[in-house]
Structure formats: C-alpha cells, structure tokens
C-alpha cells in the first residue's frame, strides 16, 4: 500500500498539493462559519469540496476588505484585492496557483464552469466596500448581486455539475439561487447592523440609520427577506437530490434567524448579534434531513398567502 501510494505521488506529485489546497479551503470554512459549515457538511462527495473551495475564496476576499493588517489603508487593501482577483483569473486559465485557497477555487471553477461573469461582479462588490459607505436602492441591488447572489450561482454550478444537462439545470434553478443568496445577505446586514454601522461606518439597508432607528423600516426589510426565503424554498425541491438537504438546512437556519430578528428590536440588534444556539441548529438540520430536503413551510407559519 505504501509503495503504491509512493508510486502515485512520484508519477503525479501535484496531487499532494491539490489535497493540501482542498484542506486549506476546508480549514477556512471551519474557522469562519458555523451555520454555513454545518450545511456544507451535509453535501456529498466532490460537491462538498467544491462548495468549500468557493466559500474559502469569498471569505479571503472579505477579510482583505474588512480585516486590514496594522498600517494598511484603503489603497493598500484595494491593491491587494485587485491582485487576488487577477491571481484567480490566472489560476483558472493555468490550472494552478501558489496561493492554496486560489488554487483550490480555480480547480473547482474549472471543474464546474465558474467563469469571469460570476467572479468579476463579486470582486466589484468587494471594492465597493472600500469606496462607498451608504447605499441607495440601485447601488444596493448591484452590491447584493455581486456579494451574495453570484456566490449562490457559483454553488449552483457545483450542485448541477454532475447532471446530464448542467447548463439547462443551471438556467432553471438560477432565479431561486439568487433569491436565496439575497436573503442570506440581507439577514446578515440586519444581524451585523451594529458592527457595520458602529465599527465599519457602513449603512447597507436603505432607511436604516443608526441615529434614527425606525422599527417600521426594520420590519419592512424583514418582510422583504421573508419573500426571498419563500421564493427560494420553491426551487430547493428541484435541486439535485444530493444537494437538497444541505441547502434546505441553510435555508431553514436563516429562516430561524429571521424569526429571531423579527422578535428583536432594531435597537437591541444593534447592541447584540442575533444567533441560533448550536442545539437548535442541530435540530433544524435533523428536521431538514427527515423531510428529505423539503424546506419548512415558512410562508404558512408567517401567515403569507
């Protein structure tokens, strides 16, 4: 067995580097996300690794923007972000990178068909965080598309890669993936309202001002999120079978966050980040598995028609 492995490594030494890159991506998701990490672990085989690889690059780019090293200013971070984007394109073209996370992402991108049409809007939104602190409805829609909806579309590419006609399945399911990505982002805007406004000086959701917290506007954004969650739930049943439980779990975890945010005032949410306790997360995941990936009837629970 050892001799066989040694022979394989001698013939294809890059396989060990590929494995190290995948392990690095998995390490990123373990360190940065409990909810998304839980859902991802419910995916099967290569799809699980591809989604980890996608998340890792997204997380690294976000850290470049939001967690500067001492002495780094906005210009430094913009240069670093531009370098990361160009590294990503080069790695997709060549199939390799000296950056482990970029290498992992590029291999997955080549495998499932993620190209610049999804990557460029993401990096554009990351740059927006270095250039803009307040949004109107038009700029917010563009930002959410690039920062969240395209990430959902990247994951969708991974979900349908093994289908007999992945392009057709992608087009069929893309609207639902976008609505789910948008819902996740808006929920995080509400959860991170205090950190974003007080720590980073950013105001994402139109009308929510830290110096004038309007509970009606807070409630209207939750209404908007619930519509996204309801619309995206309808698409989950049509996902490939191996992805349904994981995506359903993520959907239902964020639906629970929405319920908890609904029970929290804007002022309280500014002071403390709303969370779902670990035992409740486990219960939600188990329930999604028992329903075989059919999302909880969020609309019925909330009295939507």
pLDDT tops 70 at residue 300 = no
Instruction: With cut-offs at 50, 70 and 90, classify the pLDDT of residue 8.
Output: very low
- Count CB-CB contacts under 10 A for residue 292: 11
Question: pLDDT of 224-238, one tens digit each?
Answer: 999 999 999 999 999
- Can you give the pLDDT at residue 30? 86
Average confidence score pLDDT of the chain: 90
- Can you give the pLDDT at residue 305? 43
Instruction: With cut-offs at 50, 70 and 90, classify the pLDDT of residue 17.
Output: very high
- Count CB-CB contacts under 10 A for residue 65: 19
Report yes or no: 250 and 239 within 8 Å, Cβ to Cβ.
Answer: no
**CA angle, residues 117, 246, 154, in degrees to nearest 5:** 5
CA-to-CA dists, residue 109 to 2, 30, 73, angstroms: 32, 21, 31
- Can you give the pLDDT at residue 303? 52
DSSP codes of every residue in 241-281: HHHHHHHHHHHHHHHHHHHHHHTS-HHHHHHS-----HHHH
Closest Cα to residue 243, out of 152, 168, 182?
152
Question: pLDDT of 181-216, one tens digit each?
Answer: 999 999 999 999 888 888 888 899 999 888 888 899
- Can you give the pLDDT at residue 10? 54
User: What pTM was estimated for this model as a whole?
Assistant: 0.91
Mean pLDDT within 128-150: 96
DSSP lists the bridge partners of residue 168 as none
Report yes or no: 191 and 274 within 8 Å, Cβ to Cβ.
Answer: yes
Report the C-alpha gap between 295 and 228 in whole angstroms: 13
Residue range(s) of every CATH 1.10.600.10 domain in the chain: 132-305
Report yes or no: 205 and 189 within 8 Å, Cβ to Cβ.
Answer: yes
Out of 21-25, 34-38, 202-206, 261-265, pick the least confident.
34-38
Q: Which helix (H) or strand (E) holds 57?
A: helix 45-66
Question: pLDDT of 20-29, one tens digit each?
Answer: 999 999 999 8
- Can you give the pLDDT at residue 44? 84
- Can you give the pLDDT at residue 213? 83
With a pLDDT cut of 70, the percent of the chain lying above it is 93
Report the C-alpha gap between 22 and 133 in whole angstroms: 35
**Between these two residues, 8 and 267, which has the higher pLDDT value?**
267
Would you call 199 helix, strand, or coil by DSSP?
A: helix
From the candidate CATH numbers 3.30.450.20, 1.10.600.10, 3.40.30.10, 2.40.50.140, the one assigned to the domain spanning 132-305: 1.10.600.10
**Six-digit token string for 299:** 């609309």
């Amino acid at each position: 067995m050892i001799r066989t492995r040694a022979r394989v490594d001698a013939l294809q030494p890059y396989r060990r580097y590929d494995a190290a890159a995948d392990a690095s991506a998995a390490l990123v998701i373990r360190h940065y996300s409990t909810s998304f990490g839980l859902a991802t672990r419910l995916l099967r085989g290569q799809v699980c690794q591809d989604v980890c690889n996608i998340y890792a690059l997204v997380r690294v780019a976000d850290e470049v923007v939001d967690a500067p090293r001492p002495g780094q200013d906005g210009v430094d971070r913009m240069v670093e972000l531009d370098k990361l984007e160009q590294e990503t394109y080069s790695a997709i073209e060549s199939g390799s990178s000296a950056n482990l996370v970029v290498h992992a992402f590029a291999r997955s991108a080549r495998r499932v068909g993620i190209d610049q049409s999804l990557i460029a809007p993401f990096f554009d939104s990351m740059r927006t965080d270095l250039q803009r602190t307040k949004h109107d409805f038009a700029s917010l829609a563009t930002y959410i598309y690039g920062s969240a909806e395209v990430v959902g579309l990247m994951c969708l590419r991974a979900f349908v890669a093994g289908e007999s006609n992945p392009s057709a399945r992608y087009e069929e399911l893309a609207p639902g993936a976008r609505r789910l990505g948008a819902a996740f982002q808006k929920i995080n805007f509400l959860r991170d309202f205090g950190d974003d406004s007080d720590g980073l000086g950013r105001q994402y959701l139109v009308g929510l001002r830290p110096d004038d917290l309007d509970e009606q506007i807070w409630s209207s954004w939750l209404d908007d999120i619930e519509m996204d969650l309801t619309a995206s739930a309808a698409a989950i049943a049509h996902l490939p079978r191996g992805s349904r439980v994981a995506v359903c779990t993520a959907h239902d975890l964020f639906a629970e966050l929405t319920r908890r945010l609904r029970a929290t005032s804007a002022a309280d949410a500014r002071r403390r980040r709303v969370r779902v306790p670990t035992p409740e997360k486990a219960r939600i995941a188990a329930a999604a598995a028992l329903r075989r990936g059919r999302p909880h009837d969020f609309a019925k629970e909330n009295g939507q028609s």
